[in-house]
Amino acid sequence: MKRREFITLLGGTVIAWPLVAQAQQQTIPVIGFIRNTTRDDTTDLLKAMHQGLRQTGYAEGRNVAVEYRFADNQLDRLPTMAADLVRRQVAVIVAGGDASSLAAKGATTTIPIIFSTGFDPIEIGLVTSLSRPGGNVTGVSFFSTLGTAAKRLDLLDKLMPKGAAIAYLRNPNSPTGDPESTLRTHSGDKFLS
């Protein structure tokens, strides 16, 4: 390359550099937030998320945007909502709860997904391993509910007057279905589910 061509190329690059930087600054990342509950049921989680964003230098509306999706406890809406976040090309999906996390995982294999669950993420199919989740999905599991339901109900049975019935309500449409099926195994006929 001749010296004059090199200087012209370098000059063009120097002029274009601020324009590229400005264009990059105008495009802010978008977080997709999906939850199976209502917005009102998610207030504390949203406060915590915004606090975490602030601690890392992000503020919604200033240098990050958030696209919110709430299924209002209608789990059948989640796949469509997750697909909409993927179509909007969000940078990351924050999925609160099992059903939301599974819907997000079903919608994309490329956008990073951060989940929270109270169940074993391997058992419900979110990740293949706790140490190496693999794919585009990672998150946190609150194992406090795993394997403790039968014990909690047994303790409740001891505290209740004799002959009192204890019922366990669950959403049959939840992807975690009947995670506490061991209740019937460990507790016999004492408990209704």
Segments making up each domain of the chain, as ranges: 10-15+22-144, 149-192
The answer to whether residues 153 and 159 touch, using CB atoms and an 8 Å cutoff, is: no
The first and second tokens of residue 68, run together, are: 């919110």
- 43-64, pLDDT tens digit by residue? 988 998 899 999 999 999 999 9
Neighbouring CB atoms inside 10 A of 172's CB total 6
Helical segments of the chain, H only: 3-26, 43-55, 78-87, 98-107, 149-159, 182-187
Fold of 10-15+22-144: Rossmann fold (3.40.50)
Q: What is the pLDDT of residues 58-89, one digit of tens each?
A: 999 999 999 999 999 999 999 999 999 999 99
In this prediction the pTM is 0.65
| 159-161-164 Cα angle (round to 5) | 105
pLDDT-based confidence at 21, cuts 50/70/90? Answer: very low
